[in-house]
Amino acid sequence: MQKLLLLGDEAIAQAAIDAGISGIFSYPGTPSTEITEYVMASKQAAAKGIKASWAANEKTAVETALGVSYAGKRAMSCMKHVGLNVAADAFVNSAITGANGGFVIVAADDPSMHSSQNEQDSRFYGKFAMIPVLEPSNQQEAYDMVHYGFDISEKYQIPVLLRITTRLAHSRAAVVRKPERPQNELRLPSDLKQFILLPVIARRRYKGLLANQVLFEQEAETAGFNRYFDGHDKSLGIITSGIAYNYLMENFTGRNIPYPVLKISQYPVPVNMITKMEQECKRILVIEEGAPVIEESLRGLLSKSLNVNGRLDGTIPRDGELNPNIVAVALGMEDHRGMDVPGLVVGRPPSMCVGCSHIDMYNALNAALSDFTKGRVFSDIGCYTLGALAPFNAINSCVDMGASITMAKGAADAGLVPAVAVIGDSTFTHSGITGLLDAVNSNSPITVLIADNSTTGMTGGQKSAATGKIEDICRGVGVPEEHIRVIKPLRKNHEENVKVILEELTYNGVSVVIPRRECIQTLNKRMRAKAAEKAKAKESE
């Protein structure tokens, strides 16, 4: 079969195409974005008519994919870990409705918060929803697990969660492809009431989900992704999972480990394999990327009080991404940390691009707010969050997508008037609209700046669902027409922009100011593509 050099994200995307998906619906978020981008750019996917699109948010993405599954076809939905919080209602309930066509949800966790606001472990969500969870340790396994995930999803009529982490998503390795499968035919569920979660149906379905747990456990014992490797030195047994398995291997030349090793890549945890290790070994070391999910579950499983080391007792740091060196230290081996980065490479804090429209927006906002006391700007997640840094020091919060408007409303309702929200165009359609409706319904005195650079800039410039629609949405939600103001954030317009913002700050109700100018990165990209097209046309003349 063909061998390809792929990122972990790309391996998942290629596998989804080969495994016969009919649709992929996602919302961008590092480190998951490249999965959907790969399918969007794939000629193979286009030829197969696979639908690939960015949804307004992760919840709408999961629900759309569930609709594809309802229709009997295979679907995938991808997001970063915090995206699963947004999709959680649909995600957890989809475990009760079950799947019809195969349904795989990919959550990409970001230990050490390289580009995230928290460090959460999506395996908890899988356990919470009581569905099978797959956790690949390398790119090939990621590819294979997508095929297997669709298999068990259809076999047990259940959504499957594929959990990856940053290092796997963004590193490349050779991947051997499997034969392509055709897409499913349209085939509605045999029980047309299965997806109606009225209590009487949901109770029955929930009992079915509980009954299936034993089958999911058997799958985890027998599918071959969970493996027990024997070792002659039983003073220690090692349980490891996902990418952490590779970090363990890197510490032993020739991959010769003296201790028994249990590699867990499929959940629910394989109880029989764990019991075997408990019986054989004096002590267990748990090495897992993310939260101590396996380690905590051991506490309920082990019959005798065995010595268990891991993140919970500090043998491994409680937070942050693992690496081979941390694993070596946990094993009592030599600390082979490399040399420190020499002073030649100076750390570079993040900053907005030269020419970014957000710079002019913050200059105008800061000037407009100069006569008010500080601490009244609630921001959101996007490139404009960099307004927190010097020289702007312009914002006072960034919590989760959409929280700018709702927090400003809360603060205004509590008496902080005026309160300001700053939200990007993509974040506005992701989670800002309902908060704006709440503010309109209570006529809260807030001014909302919707920073419209007509793209999802932070994650690399994906299409924004808001483009061309923001004024209509605000009008539809009930913001008075005369308090929806569009400004062009440019240095030459500074005085005029300050005046507009100031006028709206003094309005005693909900006002919206839309600083609108294309993202400098997407503008440059567009210009380059145009120039290349022109040059090509000239060549062929």
Cβ 530 to ligand TPP, closest distance in Å?
Answer: 21
- 465 near ligand TPP, judged by CB under 6 A: no
Q: 183 near 101, Cβ under 8 Å?
A: no
Stretch that binds ligand TPP, among 16-24, 138-146, 200-208, 379-387 (CB under 6 A): 379-387
Specify the residue, 78 or 505, whose C-beta has the smaller distance to ligand TPP.
Answer: 78
Residue 199 burial (10 A CB sphere; 0-12, 13-18, 19+): exposed
- 383 near ligand TPP, judged by CB under 6 A: yes
Residue 186 burial (10 A CB sphere; 0-12, 13-18, 19+): exposed
Instruction: Please provide the DSSP assignment of 153-169 as one string.
Output: HHHHT--EEEEEEHHHH
Which residue in 109, 425, 471, 504 binds ligand TPP (CB under 6 A)? Answer: 425
Provide the residue count of the chain.
541
Cα R_g (the chain), whole angstroms: 26
Which residue in 140, 226, 241, 426 binds ligand TPP (CB under 6 A)? Answer: 426
Q: 514 near 470, Cβ under 8 Å?
A: yes
Stretch that binds ligand TPP, among 122-130, 325-333, 339-347, 456-464 (CB under 6 A): 456-464
Which amino acid, one-letter code, is at 296? E
Which amino acid, one-letter code, is at 211? A
Q: 446 near 409, Cβ under 8 Å?
A: yes
Cβ 456 to ligand TPP, closest distance in Å?
Answer: 4
In sequence order, the 6+-apart residues with CB closer than 8 A to the CB of 519 are 356, 357, 383, 453, 454, 455, 457, 461
- 464 near ligand TPP, judged by CB under 6 A: yes
**b/e per residue, 390-417, with b = 16+ CB within 10 A?**
eebebbbbbebbbbbbbbbbbbbbeebb
Which residue in 83, 149, 387, 410 binds ligand TPP (CB under 6 A)? Answer: 83
Per-residue contact string for residues 104-123; x = within reach of ligand TPP by CB under 6 A: --------------------
Cβ 142 to ligand TPP, closest distance in Å?
Answer: 21
- 262 near ligand TPP, judged by CB under 6 A: no
Cβ 66 to ligand TPP, closest distance in Å?
Answer: 18
Stretch that binds ligand TPP, among 80-88, 230-238, 278-286, 292-300 (CB under 6 A): 80-88
Q: Which residues pair with 117 in a beta bridge?
A: none
* Window 315-334: residues binding ligand TPP (CB under 6 A): none
Stretch that binds ligand TPP, among 44-52, 120-128, 301-309, 419-427 (CB under 6 A): 419-427
Cβ 218 to ligand TPP, closest distance in Å?
Answer: 35
Which residue in 401, 421, 446, 477 binds ligand TPP (CB under 6 A)? Answer: 401
Q: 11 near 139, Cβ under 8 Å?
A: yes
**Separation between Cα atoms, residue 233 and residue 238, nearest integer Å:** 11
Cβ 40 to ligand TPP, closest distance in Å?
Answer: 16
- 470 near ligand TPP, judged by CB under 6 A: no
Cβ 180 to ligand TPP, closest distance in Å?
Answer: 31
Which residue in 20, 29, 72, 260 binds ligand TPP (CB under 6 A)? Answer: 29
Which residue in 139, 165, 455, 497 binds ligand TPP (CB under 6 A)? Answer: 455
- 392 near ligand TPP, judged by CB under 6 A: no
Q: Give the residue from 214, 191, 194 showing the smallest Cα distance to 204.
A: 194
Q: 160 near 75, Cβ under 8 Å?
A: no
Residue 472 burial (10 A CB sphere; 0-12, 13-18, 19+): exposed
- 382 near ligand TPP, judged by CB under 6 A: yes
Residue 181 burial (10 A CB sphere; 0-12, 13-18, 19+): middle
- 453 near ligand TPP, judged by CB under 6 A: yes
Q: Which residues pair with 515 in a beta bridge?
A: 487
Stretch that binds ligand TPP, among 93-101, 177-185, 451-459, 480-488 (CB under 6 A): 451-459
**Separation between Cα atoms, residue 347 and residue 343, nearest integer Å:** 9
Output DSSP code: residue 340. P
Per-residue contact string for residues 46-65; x = within reach of ligand TPP by CB under 6 A: --------------------
In sequence order, the 6+-apart residues with CB closer than 8 A to the CB of 465 are 54, 55, 56, 426, 429, 430
Specify the residue, 257 or 451, whose C-beta has the smaller distance to ligand TPP.
Answer: 451
Stretch that binds ligand TPP, among 37-45, 78-86, 281-289, 309-317 (CB under 6 A): 78-86
Cβ 105 to ligand TPP, closest distance in Å?
Answer: 14
Which residue in 73, 74, 80, 147 binds ligand TPP (CB under 6 A)? Answer: 80
Specify the residue, 113 or 417, whose C-beta has the smaller distance to ligand TPP.
Answer: 113
- Which residue is nearest to ligand TPP, using beta carbons? 424
Positions in the binding site for ligand TPP (CB under 6 A): 27-29, 80, 82-83, 86, 381-384, 401, 424-427, 451, 453, 455-459, 464
